[in-house]
Amino acid sequence: MTNPRAIALALATLVSLTSLGAAAQGLRPSGSATGGGLARPSAAPSITLPGPGASGSAAASNVTRQADYIVAVVNSEPVTNNEVRARLARAEAQLQQQGGPMPPRDLLAREVLERLILERVQLQQARESGIKVDDFAVEQAAQAVARQNNMAVAELYRRLASDGMSRERFHQELRNQLLQQRLREREVDARVKVSDLDVDQYLREQQQNNDPAAMEINLGHVLVLVPENATQAQVAERQARAQAAADKIRSGTDFAAVAREFSDAPEGQRAGGLLGLRPADRYPELFVNSVKGQPVGSIVGPVRSPAGFHILKVVERSTAGMPTTVVQSHARHILLRTGPQLSETAAAARLADYRRRVQSGTADFATLAREHSQDGSSKNGGDLGWANPGRYVPEFEEAMNALRPGEISEPLVSRFGVHLIQLLERREAQLTQREQRDMARDTVREKKLDEAYATWAQELRGRAYVEYREPPQ
């Protein structure tokens, strides 16, 4: 299951009661040769329902009393006025909850209609492509909605009923969103490539656009002091000494060794010349300006200051907005791929049995993974290795984060099959420069996914036959 940013593990939609959208879905690469990288979407489609106290039921009943008619035909499939009105009522309720400005109702109705047309085109494409969503995935999405809104599933269904939405209708909307999501994953992900040049440009933009206080750098420092009131000859001798130190470093001599030999600064002997990772505004302005735009590993200098001559090495740079220390998780999983011979429901039942056997002590998780898991991690007993936050898709990460070390999750559905997760341990770790660069790559990829989805959706909409009838009311 290897992918440029990840081996994709999971993508059942997390559906929210508080926002409606069709943001781009896609996979984010995160290299792991074991099959453990989990694709994470850049956003999740969602469903809107009126909040507490909103007039959802009244809106729904008004819709049913309104005489229905066709407002548009999408590839011979009709979109009705009542569909627009029902979605419009939910969109208006959402805007009221958010306290945002309310656009003219006719304009909002046209936007809702266009959204319905686009969704209809995508659903048609998904069906033609043979994409299906099992009942197990729908139930899992419903449970995710309940968790997001801090309520039990039974309470969720009562709330839906009070807002005029039946359980069956809710499940159908979830299924439709999952179908659209899986279609986008398959069609859009392959379009997105992130080059090293893309990452370099993003990092340069971050460095140029962010306040120095929001950036952290670690510099190696060699100081060759120049005495006050030094003569020209003394200055020249000091400069030559600093140049000799810089030349030795550039020729490949260990920086720490050169710092211990040449530096007059206290950190030269104590820390091999390292000043430590700190916000850029805590460094002298001369240092920050001298290394600005220089890649990690660069040597700068000698640079003159009133104190003497400085040689600087860019040891580490933390891009703004990216953590330097994270809590990593070490997990393993069992994946059962689904298809004509194995439904998601059947796979979940099989994994639930494995879970019971492990918990009762009659089976070993690693042994079951080696015997039954259907991805590259199986040979390692399902071991996914250490992972930084954001490596896995939200569903997988949410389930994993809810576990204590040693605990096993309930079966989890993804577009690749169904998974069982066991958390082994957690630790706090310092991010390497490579890991920070990978995080930057993830950010760039998500932006590109949004752009690729917009292009793809426009192309799909352009190929569809759409006939507008009477405007929605």
Residue spans per domain, the chain: 18-195+454-468, 213-318, 325-432
pTM beyond cutoff 0.85: no
Q: Does domain 325-432 have CATH number 3.10.50.40?
A: yes
| Matching CATH number, 213-318, of 3.30.70.1450, 3.40.50.970, 3.10.50.40, 3.30.230.10 | 3.10.50.40
Closest CA to 17 of 177, 210, 128, 148: 148
- Indicate the residue type of 177: Q
Reading phi first (left if > 0) and then psi (alpha if -120 to 50, else beta), residue 385 is in left
Per-residue model confidence as pLDDT tens digits over 258-310: 888 888 877 666 667 888 777 777 788 888 888 887 888 889 989 998 888 99
Of 22-26, 38-42, 86-90, 377-381, highest mean pLDDT: 377-381
Strand 46-48 to 18-21 pairing: antiparallel
| Residue 41: per-residue pLDDT | 40
**pLDDT tens for each residue of 377-418:** 999 999 999 988 878 877 788 888 889 999 999 999 877 789
- 3-state SS, residue 86: helix
Are 213-318 and 325-432 equal in CATH topology?
Answer: yes
Alpha carbon 343 to its chain centroid, in Å, reads 28
Confidence category of residue 452, pLDDT binned at 50, 70, 90: confident
pLDDT above 90: residue 211 = no
Whether the predicted pLDDT of 359 surpasses 90? yes
> For residue 7, what are its two tokens?
């081996």
Which numeric CATH code is attached to 18-195+454-468? Answer: 1.10.4030.10
Contact 46, 89 (CB under 8 A): no
Query: pLDDT at position 424, please?
Result: 95
